[in-house]
Amino acid sequence: MGVTKEGVEETLKAKLTPTHLVVIDTSGGCGASFDIEIASSNFEGKRLLERHRLVNAALAEELKDIHALSIRKALTPKQWEEQHPAPENLATA
C-alpha cells in the first residue's frame, strides 16, 4: 500500500490541526515523495527542529513508505499571516 498526497494531508490535518496546509506530490516515479508547507498553532514557542519533529512524529506511519519528505515551511499561524498578507491588505499597502 503506497502513501498518497491525500493520506498525508488527512494525517496532518487530524494530528496538527493546521490553519494552512499545502502538500505537493514531488515523486518523479521513484516512489512517494512530498513537499509540505504547514502552519499550525502547535508550533508556537517551538524551534524549527522541534517543529519538524512534530511533523515527522505525525507522519511516523507514512514515513515508513515515504521515499523523500521536504518540510519547506513549518510556521505558526501568525508567522504565516505575516508572510502572506491577505489580498485586501496588499491593496491598501
Partner 1 sequence: AAALTPELRESVEKFVKGHKVVLFMKGTKLFPQCGFSNTVVQILNNLSVPYETVNILEDDGLRQGLKAYSNWPTFPQLYIDGEFFGGCDITLEAFQSGQLKEVVEKAMCS
Rounded distance between C-alpha atoms, residue 47 and residue 38, angstroms: 15
Nearer to partner 1 by Cβ, of 59 and 87: the residue is 59
Q: Which of 2, 17, 72, 85 binds partner 1 (CB under 8 A)?
A: 72
- Taking the least distance from each CB to partner 1, the nearer of 22 and 48 is 48
Among 68, 82, 83, 85, binds partner 1 (CB under 8 A): 68
List of residues 6+ apart from 80 with CB closer than 8 A: 19, 20, 39
Q: Integer distance in angstroms from the first to the last C-alpha of the chain?
A: 49
Q: Which of 20, 27, 52, 81 binds partner 1 (CB under 8 A)?
A: 52
